[in-house]
Amino acid sequence: MELTVGPVMGFWDAAAWSDFYARLAETPGVKRVVIGELVCSKRLPFYQTRLPEAIERLQAGGKEVSVTSLALVTLKRERKQTAELADMGLEVEVNDITALAHLPQGAAFSAGPLINVYNEGTVAFLKARGAVRFCLPPELPMASVERLAAAAGPVPVEVWGWGRLPLAISGRCYHARYHDRAKDQCQFVCADDPDGLAVDTLDGQEFLAINGVQTLSAQCANMAHTLPRLKSAGVSGLRLSPQTQGFFEVVSLFDDLVQGRISAEEMSAKALPHAPGGAFCDGFLEGAAGVSWSGNPLHAQV
C-alpha cells in the first residue's frame, strides 16, 4: 500500500508552504506528492514562484510529483492557468473534468478525488482518455470501491486515507461571506483558518468546516481500520491530506501501519491528537453516516 500526499487545500503562508515541501522531500514512506492549487486561483500567486524549487526538492528526494488542476474553473485566467499545467512536464491530476480539454489526446493524467468516478463506464472512459491513476471520491462505500478497482484493472487506485474530507466546491466564498465581504474583496480571510473553519449546528453539533469556496467535513477521515479490506478490494494507495500541525507524525504512523509495525488501534490512538476537528470518521466507506467511525468509539473524539 503506497502513501500519496495530496495538495495543500488551505491557504498557507508562503514560507510555511515552502518549509512543508522541503521537509516532505526528506520524509520516508511517501511515494507520491500532488502539488499545486486545488481550491482558489487567487491563492496561487502567493507561492507560484516557489513551485519549481519545491518540485525539484521533492523529485530529488525520490518522490513522484503530480500537479493538480483547480477543482472549479470559472474565469478566463483560470482557463489559462489550467492550459499551462500541460507544459509543466508533470503528470496532471484532473480535479475538474474541463481540464481534459487542455490535455493532448492520449496524454497521461490521474483522476483526482473531486472527479465523479461513480461507475465502471466512467472508469473505462477516463482510461481510454489516458488516465493512469484514480483517487476515488471519498463518499463511495466499500462495495463501489471494489467494483471500480476491478474495472480499473492494472491502473492504480487510491482512496482518501487521512484528513478532512472534500465534500463540495462552490462559486461563492463562504469565508468572505462569513466576514461580510464580497468574494472579490475577500482580503484573504481564509488565511486565518489554514486547516478550515469549523461550522456547528444551532444545537452546537460539529457539522462541517469551510475553506474559502470549499466545504469540508468537520471530522478527520482515518481509514486505518479499513486497511485490510481496502487491500482485498484492490486499492493500492492511501491519500493523506496536508495540515499545519502534526502532519509528519501522521505520515510516520501511516507508514508504520502499512508496513505492519503497529496495529490500526495503536495508530489511531497516537494519531488522534493530530486530527483536525479532534474526531475520526470513515462512515462513507462503511456505507453508514459519513460522520461515523468504525474504530474504537473511545478514540472517535478527544
Residue 119 confidence class, pLDDT cut points 50, 70, 90: very high
- Report in angstroms the alpha-carbon separations of 184 from 41, 175, 279, 293: 12, 12, 34, 38
At residue 206, the pLDDT reads 86
Domain residues of the chain, as ranges? 2-166+217-299
Nearest to 24 by CA among 82, 72, 63: 63
Residue 250 and residue 240 in contact, taking contact as beta carbons nearer than 8 Å: yes
Residues with Cβ within 8 Å of residue 79, at least 6 apart in sequence: 73, 102
At residue 296, the pLDDT reads 58
Q: Does residue 302 register a pLDDT over 90?
A: no
Residue 105 confidence class, pLDDT cut points 50, 70, 90: confident
Mean pLDDT of 219-226: 96
How would you classify the pairing of strands 91-94 and 131-135? unpaired
pLDDT above 90 coverage of the chain, percent:
89
The dihedrals phi and psi of 213, each to the nearest 5 degrees, come to -90, 5
Residue positions forming the annotated binding site for [4Fe-4S] cluster: 40, 173, 186, 190
Average pLDDT, the chain: 95
CA distance linking residue 16 with residue 3, whole number of Å: 22
Tens of pLDDT, residues 189-202: 999 999 999 999 88
Instruction: Identify the residue with better confidence: 106 or 87.
Output: 87
Residue 287 and residue 142 in contact, taking contact as beta carbons nearer than 8 Å: yes
Residue 299 confidence class, pLDDT cut points 50, 70, 90: very low
Q: Does residue 300 register a pLDDT over 80?
A: no
Mean pLDDT of 53-78: 97
State pTM to two decimals: 0.95
At residue 297, the pLDDT reads 59
pLDDT above 70 coverage of the chain, percent:
98
CA distance linking residue 284 with residue 226, whole number of Å: 12
Residue 35 and residue 271 in contact, taking contact as beta carbons nearer than 8 Å: no
Q: Does residue 162 register a pLDDT over 60?
A: yes
CATH fold of the domain at 2-166+217-299: TIM Barrel (3.20.20)
Residue positions forming the annotated binding site: 40, 173, 186, 190
